Amino acid sequence: MSRIIFQKTYIIVLPSFESTAVHKHPFLHLFYNAAGCRISTEHQVVQGSCIMTGPNVLHAVPAGNAISFFLLIDPTSHLAELLQNRYLQGSSCFSIQLPEYPPADRLNSVPDDQIIQIVEDFLAQLGLFSEPDSMLDGRIQQLIENIISGQWLACSVREIAASMYLSESRLTHLFKESAGISLKSYLVIQRLERAYRCITSGEKLTRSAHESGFASSAHLAYTCKKLTGISVSDVLKKRKTAEF
């Protein structure tokens, strides 16, 4: 089954599927398969071992692909800015052919921490570096702790701003400046991560959605499918397979 690993500014997906329906979302994509992969967009079919797409680009993975991994990159992050400036340069897609790295056929047997290191090394080879940790504003550090603990996970940016006695615009600016990612994107990533952990630990779908700050199980399913291309049922299959 598909595997998801959450990082601060991007999500790593090792997909079990070989195709997706046409969709779009605000995140940037980076697809990798040493043997080559194809991505269909509204205007063209792009091929290469490494394919990058910009935000809000209609795209699909055609049938017959075996993608080793893909990344969903927060569009407000330093990593997205580097990718836009170095490769996309205003275009919707970019593809390159690279020497085989990492060893694609062995990724599914590798622990999460090693996958993360492989991806970070891969990004470094491309001249793309995750933003280094910076000194967080004390208010932002407390905000992040409140989100991770679940206290503010279901809150809107407006509600969080009111709780911190800040205007919504001031909070969003302060969070981006301090954390290197927009607060709205950070909340989405944290909610998905909490839901994924709840589901894979055995929680029912409705409770997982509630625990992770989604309005309903349908909202969780829609967000998961839209961003990752993975249905919640795929995650549930993974959990059931692990139980046997």
Q: CA-CA distance, 112 to 56, in Å (whole number)?
A: 28
Enter the DSSP assignment of 30: E
Question: pTM for this one?
Answer: 0.80
Query: Tokens for 19?
Result: 């195709």
pLDDT at 146: 93
- The CATH number of domain 3-125, selected from 3.60.40, 2.60.40, 3.30.70, 2.60.120: 2.60.120
pLDDT at 242: 38
Which residues sit opposite 40 in a β-bridge?
Answer: 45, 60
For 226-242, b/e burial (b = at least 16 CB within 10 A) is ebbbbebebbbebeeee
Q: Where do the domains of the chain lie?
A: 3-125, 138-243
Secondary element (H or E) of residue 154: none
Enter the DSSP assignment of 18: S
Is it true that 3-125 and 138-243 share their CATH fold? no
What does each of the 244 residues of the chain score in pLDDT, given as a tens digit? 678 898 888 999 888 777 787 888 888 999 998 888 899 988 889 999 999 999 889 888 888 777 889 999 988 788 998 999 999 998 999 999 887 666 555 787 889 999 999 999 999 989 998 765 556 688 888 999 999 899 999 999 999 999 999 999 999 999 988 877 789 988 988 998 899 889 888 888 899 999 999 999 999 999 888 877 777 776 655 544 433 2
When computed from its CA atoms, the radius of gyration of the chain, rounded to whole angstroms, is 18
CATH architecture of the domain with range 138-243:
Orthogonal Bundle (1.10)
- Region of 64 (left: φ > 0; alpha: ψ -120 to 50; beta: rest) is left
